Amino acid sequence: AQTVTQSQPEMSVQEAETVTLSCTYDTSESDYYLFWYKQPPSRQMILVIRQEAYKQQNATENRFSVNFQKAAKSFSLKISDSQLGDAAMYFCAWTRGSTGFQKLVFGTGTRLLVSP
Amino acid sequence: NAGVMQNPRHLVRRRGQEARLRCSPMKGHSHVYWYRQLPEEGLKFMVYLQKENIIDESGMPKERFSAEFPKEGPSILRIQQVVRGDSAAYFCASSEAFDTGELFFGEGSRLTVL
């Protein structure tokens, strides 16, 4: 069974600094997608960034970027120039590419605290 | 364009009662997913539906839980004879396409069983 592990229950960062959230996964599939979701206090899950496993280039969305190490099965999220609004739970997620739908497997999340 | 709408946002039930959670997907979306989030845990897949069809219910408990997505109206997750262990946040998500396009999540329905 596929598993996603987030080993950091909580991380802290100061405004304008950079923080990296870790995620590792275990799968025997070769075709899959990886995601980072943000869950603010409102609890709505918001897609931050996604990575296709077949793409070697790391995905980037404005201040958010990933370090995708396929051989190591690692998928970390880097947040640059952190803002107070970045404070939230962050979930790493995996889905099989060939399934055709998003049956996501989530990690247990990392709570990000941002201080002024 | 309204997002995924879930109601009620909060629902309190006593043990043995029934809970009905509703989800209206985004306009134009015909794929609906239900996920459950227990306290301090990530979301876990329950069921995937298309209009009038259950495609995959492998994550849904075999008893007491059912889901539907009729031709007209919202998708409904129904929990019969609730127990305290059913207390959780239930999230609905929708997508437009059958492939791995973006999932849009609702704000969730928090069920508390007394």
pLDDT of residue B45: 94
Of A2, A36, A34, A58, the C-alpha closest to A112 is: A36
Question: What is the per-residue pLDDT for B41?
Answer: 83
Give the Cα separation of B54 and B36 in Å (integer). Answer: 17
CB-nearest to B100 from A43, A97, A105 is A97
Q: Which of residues 41-70 of B touch A (CB under 8 A)?
A: 41-45, 48, 55-56, 59
CB contact under 8 A, B43 and A33: no
Q: What is the token pair recorded at A109?
A: 């999340």
Contact B43 A103 (CB under 8 A): no
Chain B residue numbers with beta carbons less than 8 Å from the beta carbon of A29 are: none
Confidence (pLDDT) at B90: 97
Q: A13 versus A96: which is more confidently predicted?
A: A13
C-beta atoms of B45 and A47 within 8 A: no
Model confidence at B96, pLDDT cuts 50, 70, 90, reads confident
A12 pLDDT above the threshold of 80: yes
Whether the per-residue pLDDT at B103 is higher than 80: the answer is: yes
> Which of B33, B42, B106 is the closest to A91 by Cβ?
B42
For residue A43, give the nearest of B48, B98, B108 by CB distance: B108
What does the pLDDT average to over B82-101? Answer: 87
pLDDT above 70 for A44: yes
Q: Yes or no: say if A103 and A2 are a contact pair by the CB < 8 Å rule.
A: no
Which residues of A have a CB under 8 Å from any CB of B?
4, 33, 42-47, 50, 91, 93, 95, 97, 100-109
Q: What is the pLDDT of residues B31-72, one digit of tens each?
A: 999 999 998 788 999 999 998 899 999 999 999 999 999 999
Q: What is the pLDDT of residue A14?
A: 97
Closest approach of B79 to chain A, Cα-based (Å): 21
pLDDT, tens digit, for every residue of A46-101? 999 999 998 888 999 999 999 999 999 999 999 999 999 999 999 999 998 866 67
pLDDT band at B6 (very low <50, low <70, confident <90, very high): very high
What b/e readout covers B39-68, taking b as 16+ CB neighbours within 10 angstroms?
eeebbbbbbbbeeeeebebebbeeeebebb
Q: Is the peptide bond before A41 cis (omega within 30 degrees of 0)?
A: no
Question: Can you name the residues that pair with B37 across neighbouring β-strands?
Answer: B43, B89
